[in-house]
Amino acid sequence: MHNIGSYNERLNNFSWKIAEDELGYKPGDVINIGWYCSDRICNMGKGEKLALKWEGLGGKAKNYTYNDLRQLSNTIADFLQKLGIKPEERVCLFLDRIPELYIGFVGILKSGAIAQPLFSAFGEDSLHVRMENSGATAIITQKKHLGKVRKIVATLPNLKHVIIVDDNGKNPLQDKEVAFIMDEAKRVEVFESFPTKAESPSVLHYTSGTTGMPKGVKHVHYSLISQYLSSKWVLDLQDDDIYWCTADPGWVTGTSYGIIGAWACGVTQCVNDIGFSADAWYAFIQKHKITVWYSAPTAIRSLMKAGEEVIKNYDLSSLRHLASVGEPLNAEAVIWGEKVFGLPFHDSYWQTETGSIMISNYPGMKIKPGSMGKPFPGITATILDPDTYEPVPTGQAGLIGIKPGWPSMMRMYWNNQEIYDAKFKNGWYIPGDRSYIDGDGYYWFIGRDDDIINTGGHLVSPFEVESALIEHPAVAESAVVAKPDFVNMEVVKAFVCLKPGFIASPELDLEIMNFIRKRLSPLAMPQEIEFVPSLPKTRSGKIMRRILKAQEWGEEIGDTSSLEDD
């Protein structure tokens, strides 16, 4: 049984007050996401209910009730305050998907500080640029990532504390380092969550840009209103659900729906930190009797590739609702889901800047395989002409536009007002994606309107990869574009001009790939490097990535009148 009425019914009677009333919030009240995700659930009599079922490598497993979540997040918040961390200072989370990441996020918010989650596979360059930009005061990490942190700590003047969650005391700690073992700490039973208000900053997520370094997207505690309601209405989370969001909290899905939405709804969520394989994932669903599964098209296509036979080895009958996020979900994946699970995947569209789901397929609503669905109630969306930013007729392609004002909309790009302002045109927020609306009001994704590479649902900045490439001693110039890929939709391809004295070889190819992997992340690493004598440029010297991309995708190259003469 779904907990949402008909989509049209919800549209007609919609107000964000529905979520406010259900959460017991009135405008002007204190609203602290950390408290709403833990203490509030305990106050509802659900303290002994499981909040988190965690599994890691080597058969490790831990369970935490909502009362554990409340006490342990209190303990972390108290620890941060006693270190002298003040409200609105940034605290980075640089951890694998271990319980400390999820519970630490709640604790940071309770303390009044801003949580800054970072993907644990980042190399030191990616880590440095994001921490330097945010001016982070503290970073919470684990021993396996400490080497990367130590390499950059001297270059981060604002960084005062390096908190290590698994220090065994065997090796001396260095300057600024402090150990905090969550499960061994004396639990704090009573902690007064910092009295944040609706517009108090909560989370700072970094997202890639096309022409500059990553941008810090600032969200506020009032974003809870959108995240809670969309978790109920799109993900259909109900009190007795066992929920699995496969996204890493280094990305916005992993926080909005892998922490906040799930725990604000009081459901039991499962986390798997053992990596991807079809057998491991199906075994996890079977073991925990997962009912609602929110994943990414990359993972779904990988499961499709593994075939149908493996599914027969598992009992997946607990599943009742499947959803997808991060990149367009191809029609074949929706049809495949219906065939092998008896359930379609419900595609959802949103981004770091929106904070919550904007356009989606809803429980009980007819799915058109390959479509993004329809706007969430309370979201006014349309398709705009790319030149005038005026709405275009039904069926005509253009830019997606969303009317500002929903609760989880970003409030700023950190220290970058100019780029933030540029995201709004003619009274619309412009996500930067092209689409069209069919006669039934369904949205159909066409592509990005910029050079951002969406690889497996993770956005990679060509500029950031190019900047790292030219730091390699052999590279004179580079251009980075998306290349088509069955599983990831797109992967990173680099065109490289070598400096005199260097000769292209498979060994150099591998060396450059690993150089990027170490400096940035495995996601940013080029899957292919093509060594070229020169790059296509405009007369003003700007590299024309679109020509290289068109070649990769077999598309028309288009107007080349601005190309410099050979």
Tens digit of pLDDT for each residue in 254-267?
Answer: 999 999 999 999 99
In this predicted model, what pLDDT tens digit does every residue of 13-38 receive, in sequence order? 899 999 999 999 999 999 999 999 99
In this predicted model, what pLDDT tens digit does every residue of 151-164 receive, in sequence order? 999 999 999 999 99
What is the predicted pLDDT for the residue at 565?
Answer: 46
Whether residue 217 sits in one domain with residue 77: yes
Q: Strands 475-485 and 489-498: what pairing?
A: antiparallel
Q: Which of 179-188, 239-248, 451-460, 488-497 has the lowest mean pLDDT?
A: 451-460
The span from the CA of 520 to the CA of 461, in Å, is 11
What is the predicted pLDDT for the residue at 566?
Answer: 38
Whether 45 shows a pLDDT value over 50: the answer reads yes
Mean pLDDT of all residues in 162-191: 94
Total H helices, total E strands in the chain:
18, 28
Torsion of CA 315, 316, 320, 326, to 10 degrees: 170
Q: Quick check: is 412 in a domain?
A: no
What is the predicted pLDDT for the residue at 358?
Answer: 98
Q: What is the mean pLDDT of the chain?
A: 93
Q: How many domains does the chain have?
A: 2
CA distances from 135 to 83, 121, 147, 160, 172 (A): 17, 21, 20, 10, 26
Q: Quick check: is 406 in a domain?
A: no
Residue 327 vs residue 241, higher pLDDT: 241
Whether residue 502 sits in one domain with residue 365: no
Whether 3 shows a pLDDT value over 90: the answer reads no
Classify the phi-psi angles of 421: left when phi > 0, otherwise alpha if psi is within -120 to 50, otherwise beta.
Answer: alpha
User: Where a domain ends, among 327, 355, 375?
Assistant: 375
What is the predicted pLDDT for the residue at 539?
Answer: 61
Whether residue 238 sits in one domain with residue 112: yes
Q: Quick check: is 548 in a domain?
A: yes
b/e string for 408-445 if b means 16 or more Cβ within 10 A?
bbbbbbbebeeebeebeeeebbbbebbbbbeeeebbbb
* Widest CA span in the chain: 74
Q: Quick check: is 531 in a domain?
A: yes
What are the structure tokens assigned to 491, written together?
């992967």
Band of residue 4 on the pLDDT scale cut at 50, 70, 90: low
Whether residue 461 sits in one domain with residue 369: no
Mean pLDDT of all residues in 208-232: 90
Residue 328 vs residue 7, higher pLDDT: 7
Q: Which of 60-64, 243-247, 501-505, 550-554 has the lowest mean pLDDT?
A: 550-554
Contacts of 100 (CB under 8 A, 6+ apart): 140, 142, 165, 182
What is the predicted pLDDT for the residue at 328?
Answer: 80
Whether residue 480 sits in one domain with residue 361: no
Whether residue 145 sits in one domain with residue 40: yes
Q: Quick check: is 77 in a domain?
A: yes
What is the predicted pLDDT for the residue at 453?
Answer: 87
The candidate with the shortest Cα–Cα distance to 183, out of 166, 162, 164, 169, is 166
The span from the CA of 327 to the CA of 350, in Å, is 9
What CATH number is associated with residue 318?
3.40.50.12780
Contacts of 510 (CB under 8 A, 6+ apart): none
Residue 276 vs residue 513, higher pLDDT: 513
Q: Which of 155-169, 263-277, 537-551 has the lowest mean pLDDT?
A: 537-551
Band of residue 530 on the pLDDT scale cut at 50, 70, 90: very high
Band of residue 346 on the pLDDT scale cut at 50, 70, 90: very high
The span from the CA of 457 to the CA of 460, in Å, is 10
What is the predicted pLDDT for the residue at 486?
Answer: 84
What is the predicted pLDDT for the residue at 101?
Answer: 98
Whether residue 353 sits in one domain with residue 464: no
Whether residue 156 sits in one domain with residue 30: yes
- Determine whether 76 is exposed, middle or buried from the number of CB atoms within 10 Å of its CB (0-12, 13-18, 19+): buried
The span from the CA of 325 to the CA of 300, in Å, is 11
Whether 463 shows a pLDDT value over 90: the answer reads no
Whether residue 293 sits in one domain with residue 150: yes
In this predicted model, what pLDDT tens digit does every residue of 505-528 receive, in sequence order? 999 999 999 999 999 999 899 999
In this predicted model, what pLDDT tens digit does every residue of 364-384 receive, in sequence order? 899 999 999 999 999 999 999
Q: Strands 114-117 and 90-94: what pairing?
A: parallel
Torsion of CA 73, 75, 81, 85, to 10 degrees: -50
Give me the residue label for tokens 């599914």: 311
Mean pLDDT of all residues in 348-354: 96
User: Where a domain ends, among 375, 401, 436?
Assistant: 375
Whether residue 480 sits in one domain with residue 365: no
User: Where a domain ends, among 375, 397, 423?
Assistant: 375
Q: Which of 147-156, 481-490, 541-550 has the highest mean pLDDT?
A: 147-156
Residue range of the domain that includes 464: 453-553
CA distances from 546 to 161, 213, 533, 543 (A): 44, 20, 18, 9
Q: Which of 244-258, 312-326, 440-454 has the lowest mean pLDDT?
A: 440-454
Mean pLDDT of all residues in 282-294: 98
Whether residue 218 sits in one domain with residue 322: yes
The candidate with the shortest Cα–Cα distance to 281, out of 267, 266, 309, 300, is 300
Q: Quick check: is 566 in a domain?
A: no
What CATH number is associated with residue 477?
3.30.300.30
What is the predicted pLDDT for the residue at 550?
Answer: 86
Whether 562 shows a pLDDT value over 50: the answer reads no
Q: Quick check: is 186 in a domain?
A: yes
How much of the chain exceeds pLDDT 90, in percent? 78
How much of the chain exceeds pLDDT 70, in percent? 96
Q: Quick check: is 137 in a domain?
A: yes
Band of residue 538 on the pLDDT scale cut at 50, 70, 90: low
Q: Which of 312-321, 451-460, 494-503 has the lowest mean pLDDT?
A: 451-460
